[in-house]
Structure 1
């Protein structure tokens, strides 16, 4: 929520980073208050886990503070509409903040109580759902999903008509029973059928439960077709259409193995060498993180009747891997994930079964210790990648993994020349952003890298102590920018290489075409490929590649500095185009 000028500055930075689209922040501009413009957004934020913030007097494209006339009057209008214009009262905290001589009205919309959802706008008697790029009217199934969440989810214990113990996969059941006997003192001596009854795989009538069929069935999709995963590659040279589409089905352990294999097959694998000279495969996405996130999607998906019309989706885009599943979190918030209080199972019985269920190679679906998200974050940090991001809309939960470390070879060389030994992944990325003109505050740093205030303070202060960052401002508005000495450091050359910007006397200076997908980031290659047919604007490049405007700008900056792209037009103009040199 936005409470002061620092929070507002952070919110504006997030909008700019996300290209104007943000799940929990909405920017609006209008000369006079518009109930019809705010009705859907107020409804959507009230239905969104954690609520959201509306900024009146901020444009989205480009992100800019334009201010509002009569801020007090607009604040009163927001509160009045929130109280009277919906199926249940919406709590809104409003205040005004002056920035750069203009006034922004901030409306922090609180999430409605679970039993009040879905909150409907009286203007058209419709309930709205917040998505990453705006507000959408809920479908009947989505409304039913929220209504079902008025009580603790128990759908995983429901019997599946027409099933029996013969519907289960013998190999999966054998491994499951062996793991139960090895891991449970009470069930160790019980016969097979009693174990299956006590762990809710079977009902007293001999039918298989939904959880049992999903986790251990021969082919669960015979009875519930949408208990599957669809995987697809989006974007690329052929445009935004999906390719390499695959339906992944079977029981949970088999789907988990197949889905991880699919990601591994469709992403880059490099060979790296350790200090002893031994080579090993390094995957573009750490498979530990991929496996954990897919397992979470499988085990915690919504199993209620309205949600059974939807499946789990894996989408491999040019800049990220997206894993989404029907439903939302239960009993925890996104901010609590990975903490000691961040463990809560949506489907309790399915969760218990999956702590013992494993594939034929003895790999269990989940450990059941609540450490999975921490393992994901640790794996990404070790791979020098940005943190995973989570979005919970209440009816769909999404995990977004960055496609690769967003550090170009030039930036990596520059960091090496800085002697960045001992810096954290967050500090390395922050320095690169500083190199390209960004400054940091504690709030923007912790939001960007998923740290708490004290961690952010220590890391930023460490950069200052090392002489890499300079501090400006006073307490409450302190910012960190790249120190002049660091900005003058030249990129270093690796063994057998010529330092960037130099050439031997007998060789003319020629730019290197970014044709090696291992050496350059995927974003830069995608932008380069989009310019093959001629000049394009930033917006056209973003549309062609599926990248955000910030990512496009970052890649274009690298290509321009490499002498590979020229600019036609003025800086900041929407008509400016870029073409290959």
Structure 2
């Protein structure tokens, strides 16, 4: 490891696979057993939780202390130790003889933290350990030259606030999505989900299918989209799809801009979509995560039901992640907050907006149902609305449609700054002239500009507001 790579890891901060510790102490055994019981990881000794470098004396004495702590775990954990500058790095492999225990009990990783397991969690852990984790398996057909998309990594790092001063391969290794084996970098399934050009042929089951039905039953489909981009772009596209279908009203706030009030809070829906993506069972082939919009409800479903070891009565009270690395990456881009808070956040947002409580269905699928209020007469108007109100509503709807189209185009430009207007037209569902019209509007608003020659230029987003 180079000093540059160490600086990069410090900048990234602690994660599911990385732990910082100021010094060697009794708590080191908890971190070692937690990594051994999970997917392995690295402990950087001489770095505070906030990333400030304190340093330790790197000599044979500290090496012996670390080795003794690892050997006193039960069963002993085989670790390797490196030194770089004044930092000790403890490499902990995933254990082959789980569970591992220290004098304080049994620990495992939960996001960027090591947590002590309860008696029931230990029992569930023992039962579940026979099952492979999809996200950590190497993808058999992934080819970096054909499938890897560096622009998706760029977008991820920018959103996460992480600089890019080292090679992509080292970054991918540090994120835990790739691993070098016999001088060949191999991509894990989690890396395919986040950083491939398309999941269509590599991981088709990760597709998110959105549909709008006429009425309250699954009979007549009036709109359908299948999204097969990377995880983060899929979430953005799904939110754009849902926003187009939600009823919205405006409230005057005394400021120049009116406040948009959606019938269901967008943050609650986004939380449900992120939950579906991060918790679905990717071993279930032939089944997509789905978003279904009916006149009286919105249903967001993912294959897999509740994670093994989480009984229905503990739902919403205890955190248990099916896909730890996926959740960790989403946490880096602030799409996942504190562990176990998502469901309670959805409930709180709906209560604050005076919306009906959500319903949760468990089975082979996990489904969140958002009830919708009864549609008002006259495109969202209350009965007896005036002509002026009708005109205002029509103007609002026209404006909203235009804004939604512009948002879709901005998503495409963020994903691929070199995208052609012809490709944009096919992706957004507009004619080339329609795309040109919206591009010109975005230019006039000072939101985007074109740089470089006509055929080999790129789009630059100046202002997302």
Normalized against structure 2, the TM-score is what? 0.49
- The structure that has the greater radius of gyration is 1
